[in-house]
């Protein structure tokens, strides 16, 4: 997981700014995502809503695996990523809360 720590030593203000820009910039795979430019609301359906349409939609995405892997880097990430819900991701990786 990317992040700055207070203990990190930076040789210059520019280096610090570059690190902040990297953290705030979306990953490169976002540019190739099928959902690029779409609203994010559809990926956060209400409680109890089945996400079959999202699983199907994401199944045709060229960066589905990258999206899914990115979601796995944060076990608290909500919504559908890589065609799988938070609950599915947590179950699949043995981290059910």
Q: Which residues of 35-59 are buried (b: 16+ CB within 10 A; e: fewer)?
A: beeeeeeebeeeeeeebeebeebbe
Residue 5 lies in a domain: no
pLDDT (tens digit per residue) in 34-65: 999 888 888 988 777 778 889 999 999 999 99
Confidence class for position 10, pLDDT limits 50, 70, 90: low
Domain with 63, as residue range(s), is 29-92
Total count of domains within the chain = 1
Residue 73 lies in a domain: yes
pLDDT over 80 at 3, yes or no:
no
Cβ distance 66 to 29 under 8 Å? yes
């Amino acid at each position: 997981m990317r992040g700055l720590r207070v203990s990190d030593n930076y040789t210059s203000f520019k280096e610090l700014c570059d690190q902040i820009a990297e953290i705030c910039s979306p990953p490169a795979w976002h540019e190739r995502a099928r959902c690029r430019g779409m609203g994010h609301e559809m990926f956060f359906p209400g409680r109890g809503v089945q996400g079959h349409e999202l699983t199907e939609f994401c199944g045709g995405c060229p960066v589905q695996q990258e999206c899914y892997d990115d979601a796995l880097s944060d076990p608290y990430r909500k919504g559908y990523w890589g065609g799988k819900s938070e609950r599915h991701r947590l179950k699949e990786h043995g981290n059910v809360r």
